[in-house]
A and B are shown apart, each in its own frame.
Chain A
């Protein structure tokens, strides 16, 4: 990990680079949007820890309002970090098949309200047995594939079979259904609402089938950042799994209610004509499948190449920075970015306000 850590009160200009910054007012603005959107609604936000990986920040949204006081976690280890950080209501949104991880989850369920998604009857039996052995109870949500072709049941009938099984087994408690979905490209408001509704309705069809079979469904966990304002308008949805909205990324810039709050500050190492070389590369920025960040305030600037520890940029004219100048990079894939850092430097204006560890970074397990 980085052996240089800033102090509260340090001026921004004195930070070592590259540094991962959070613009605190921008993030708080995003949290306030959620608080206002969900005020007085049955449906609430369940913020996703996979994006932020820091219980201190997750708690900040809970304190701001609009949530159900719980969070999502992508992995068991991430759930452990959230519980250790004081959050007591966790939905693990990925299936878990390993015995040792399920044992960890069952132990966690003794001190926190743990829910897990499943899409397979054998897996459900496994969860049940391990929870019984541990003397705990795990809430069960059936994952529904609505559009992405990923995990999840493919039909209402499969959902009903799993729900019935969950009501019959010990150590588990059937709670409802959940789904993930995405929208491709730059989506306008109409597209978001049309596509979002269509996907969520698929999840609700499974809910209805389960209820028609006589099994009560108390939770429908669906939606994400792009449907943060769509899902609460759909009857039956009880919570939204949003994550990206907190820090945002340039690829989600069509979500105009939110501001980009995460930036990487980098230093220009060298300049030649229209080319500039900076001290931030793939390892600190991430570039999955060729996705590249943007330079704040310089839409004409492009990444020619990202190397392990530095990058080459090209401007449409002479490179507008000198060696030693600082510039700010905006991520195109925010949770991949955050997963490469051990701490956020929280800044307000030009001053360090806090340094927040990212304890769930690298929690792959």
Chain B
């Protein structure tokens, strides 16, 4: 696992061992509060997607008491920290029943299944053992989306406490949701929208009841709030430097990162171990050991690369949290 030279709280951000992942405390708090207010004002419920940050302790900081996660093993970790309901984004396997029952003794669980058959199977597994597990049916609006196609919903609602629709793979979320959500609302059951990118507040006009969204603490404001600090290890030629942060320390699954607060510097590409920092001659003077903040193109995947999350405020280290759900894939 990650083995940084730990620095005491109160250290400068720029003294952290590189590369290190950090969030800016006041910015994520402001973003979270503002987004929650906007969702609430529109009469909707916000369930944070905690699989984005995978850090149970961050839920406390962000006052996230009900969360959505992707896997049962993540739910197990989060159940130790939060007291509200945990929604799990896919059906559990029979071999995971004992874990589900254990979690349900601590917090209510809501499981999102792809089909009514899956729900019936899971219901039969938990029947008589717990009252703390409910089920939501995932509805698919596109062939490439997992779930029951909208046209195949048969009106039977036994064991189904709501419908969830995702905007995954959709080019225009608002148009897509504006089409599918009103049709689901006719069922009388709550309609839940799972947003996979940062859902801008203007999409909140659409007719649905609950929003699952996890990027708002990190993307909801004008300034960056999550970054990886990296250092220059080689300056072999003019206009080019190599950072100690590559694809293993910042995800490029969504593209190369950008250099925070800089118009003249760019990441040209990344290898597994290094980032290629470039600039036009004369626009920068960069030496060995200089540090830079990189903004990840994929925040969720970058959280999954680290075991520790540094919390900074005013460029000072104010906290260090375990990313306990890193690697909790099953």
Contact = CB atoms under 8 A, between A and B. Distances in A.
A1 B327 contact: yes
Contacts of A94: 233, 244, 273-274
Contacts of B93: 16, 267
Contacts of B169: 304-305, 312
A81 B3 CA distance: 10
A125 to B, nearest CB: 11
A7 interface: no
B329 A362 contact: no
18 contacts: A3-B328, A77-B3, A97-B231, A98-B289, A100-B17, A120-B234, A120-B236, A150-B236, A151-B242, A151-B274, A270-B115, A282-B253, A283-B304, A288-B252, A288-B270, A307-B196, A308-B301, A309-B71
B173 interface: no
B306 interface: yes
B273 A269 contact: no
Contact of B95 (A14, A340, A342): A14
Contacts of A258: none
B61 interface: no
A247 to B, nearest CB: 14
Interface in A42-97: 50, 74-75, 77, 80-81, 94-97
- Per CB-CB distance, the 3 closest pairs between chain A and chain B, nearest first, are A151-B234, A309-B70, A362-B2
B288 A97 contact: yes
Contacts of A16: 93, 95-96, 330
B327 A342 contact: yes
B144 A308 contact: no
B288 A122 contact: yes
A147 interface: no
A340 B3 contact: no
A217 interface: no
Contact of A309 (B76, B289, B326, B329): B329
A95 B329 contact: no
Contact of A4 (B73, B143, B236): B73
B236 A119 contact: yes
Interface string B230-259: 011111110010101101110111011000
Interface residues of A, number: 74
A298 B71 CA distance: 27
B29 to A, nearest CB: 24
B305 A365 contact: no
A4 B330 contact: yes
A358 to B, nearest CB: 9
Contacts of A120: 234-236, 288
B140 to A, nearest CB: 7
Contact of B51 (A75, A273, A308, A312): A308
A175 B322 CA distance: 41
Interface string B78-114: 0000000000011101011000000000000000001
Nearest to B214: A308
B146 interface: yes
B220 to A, nearest CB: 19
Interface in B256-277: 256, 270-274, 276
Interface of B: 1-5, 17-19, 51, 70-71, 73, 76-77, 89-91, 93, 95-96, 114-115, 118, 140, 143-147, 149, 168-169, 196, 231-237, 240, 242, 244-245, 247-249, 251-253, 255-256, 270-274, 276, 288-289, 298, 300-301, 304-307, 324, 326-330
A310 B328 contact: no
Interface centre among B233, B234, B329, by most A CB within 10 Å? B329
Contact of B146 (A277, A362, A363): A277
A241 to B, nearest CB: 13
B273 A123 contact: no
A272 B327 contact: no
Contacts of A284: 327, 329
B272 A304 contact: no
A19 B327 CA distance: 11
Chain A binding surface, main DSSP class: loop
Interface in A263-293: 267, 269-270, 272-273, 275, 277, 279-280, 282-284, 286-289
Interface centre among A151, A340, A364, by most B CB within 10 Å? A364
Contacts of A80: 3
A95 B304 CA distance: 25
Contacts of B77: 3
A312 B329 contact: no
Nearest to A305: B169
Contacts of A287: 253
A363 to B, nearest CB: 6
A104 interface: yes
B96 to A, nearest CB: 8
A363 B3 contact: yes
A15 B68 CA distance: 25
A153 interface: yes
Interface centre among A19, A145, A288, A314, by most B CB within 10 Å? A288
Given A14-B95, A94-B273, A270-B147, A309 B51 contact: yes
A275 B304 contact: no
A17 interface: yes
Contacts of B274: 94, 150-151
Nearest to A282: B253
B236 A153 contact: yes
Nearest to B306: A362
Nearest to B7: A100
Given A153-B236, A283-B301, A365-B19, 18 more contacts: A1-B1, A4-B73, A16-B93, A16-B330, A75-B244, A94-B233, A98-B17, A98-B231, A149-B240, A270-B147, A282-B298, A286-B247, A289-B253, A307-B196, A312-B144, A312-B146, A312-B169, A336-B248
B2 A364 contact: yes
Given A16-B330, A18-B330, A283-B329, A154 B146 contact: no
A239 interface: no
A265 B221 CA distance: 39
Contacts of B328: 1-3
Contact of B236 (A154, A314, A359): A154
A341 interface: yes
